Amino acid sequence: MQLQRIEKREFPDNSPSYAEILLTTIQEMNREENLLTALDLFTQRSLELFNCDLAAIYLFEQGKYKLYSISSRDDKYRETVMLSEFPQDFRETFTEVVEMDEEWVLPLSHFDKTLGAFILKGKRAQSKDERLAVFVKQVISIISSFIFERMLRIDSLDREQALTLLLRGTEILVRADSEEQLLSEAGEMAMEILFLPGGFFLLESAEGTWEMRSPFGRLKQEMEWDWRTWVRQYISKEECCLRNAKVHFLDIEDNPFKWERVWIHPLQTHSGVVGELWLMNAGKHLNDQKQEILAAFIRVVGVALETIRQREELARLANTDRLTGILNRQGFEQRVREEIASTLRRNSHFLLLVLDLDLFKQLNDTMGHPMGDRALKEIAQNLRAAVREQDIVARTGGDEFTVVLTEVSMNDESLAVIERMRKSMCLEIYNLGVSIGVAEFPTEGRSYDDLYRLADQRLYRGKNLGKGNIIAD
pLDDT tens digits along 262-280: 888 898 888 788 889 998 8
How sure is the predictor about 382, in pLDDT bands with cuts at 50, 70 and 90? Answer: very high
Least confident of 17-21, 25-29, 235-239, 428-432: 235-239
CA separation for the pair 142, 29 (Å, rounded): 12
pLDDT digit string, tens, across residues 33-79: 888 999 999 999 988 888 888 899 999 887 788 899 999 987 877 88
CA separation for the pair 280, 295 (Å, rounded): 16
Residue 135 is predicted with a pLDDT of 75
* Mean pLDDT value of segment 129-145: 76
Amino acid at 22: L
How far is the CA of 265 from the CAs of 242, 297, 364, in angstroms? 11, 11, 55
CA separation for the pair 468, 422 (Å, rounded): 10
**At the top level of CATH, which class does the domain 3-154 belong to?**
alpha beta
pLDDT digit string, tens, across residues 184-204: 988 888 887 777 888 999 998
CA separation for the pair 109, 1 (Å, rounded): 10
How far is the CA of 390 from the CAs of 183, 337, 395, in angstroms? 27, 14, 17
Higher pLDDT: 415 or 226? It is: 415
Least confident of 102-116, 194-208, 236-250, 292-306: 236-250
How sure is the predictor about 284, in pLDDT bands with cuts at 50, 70 and 90? Answer: low
Least confident of 129-143, 172-186, 331-345: 129-143
Residue 101 is predicted with a pLDDT of 52
Residue 425 is predicted with a pLDDT of 92
How sure is the predictor about 124, in pLDDT bands with cuts at 50, 70 and 90? Answer: low
Residue 207 is predicted with a pLDDT of 75
How sure is the predictor about 8, in pLDDT bands with cuts at 50, 70 and 90? Answer: very low
The DSSP secondary-structure symbol of 87 reads: P
pTM of the model: 0.59
Counting residues of the chain whose pLDDT is more than 70, the rounded percentage is 86
How sure is the predictor about 102, in pLDDT bands with cuts at 50, 70 and 90? Answer: low
Residue 274 is predicted with a pLDDT of 87
pLDDT over threshold 70, residue 14: no
How sure is the predictor about 243, in pLDDT bands with cuts at 50, 70 and 90? Answer: low
| Domain residue spans of the chain | 3-154, 175-318, 329-471
Backbone angles phi, psi at 27, to 5 degrees: -60, -40
Least confident of 138-147, 405-414, 439-448: 138-147
CA separation for the pair 402, 327 (Å, rounded): 9
| Best CA proximity match to 298, nearest among 249, 252, 260, 247 | 247
Mean pLDDT of the chain: 83
- On whether the CB atoms of residues 279 and 291 are closer than 8 A, the answer is no
Residue 10 is predicted with a pLDDT of 41
pLDDT over threshold 70, residue 244: no
175-318 matches 3-154 in CATH topology? yes
Assigned CATH topology for domain 175-318: Beta-Lactamase (3.30.450)
pLDDT digit string, tens, across residues 148-166: 888 888 777 777 766 776 7
pLDDT over threshold 80, residue 392: yes
pLDDT over threshold 80, residue 261: yes
**At the top level of CATH, which class does the domain 329-471 belong to?**
alpha beta
* Mean pLDDT value of segment 290-303: 82
Counting every residue written for the chain, the total comes to: 473
Residue 344 is predicted with a pLDDT of 94
The DSSP secondary-structure symbol of 10 reads: -
Residue 20 is predicted with a pLDDT of 82
Least confident of 187-191, 350-354, 360-364: 187-191
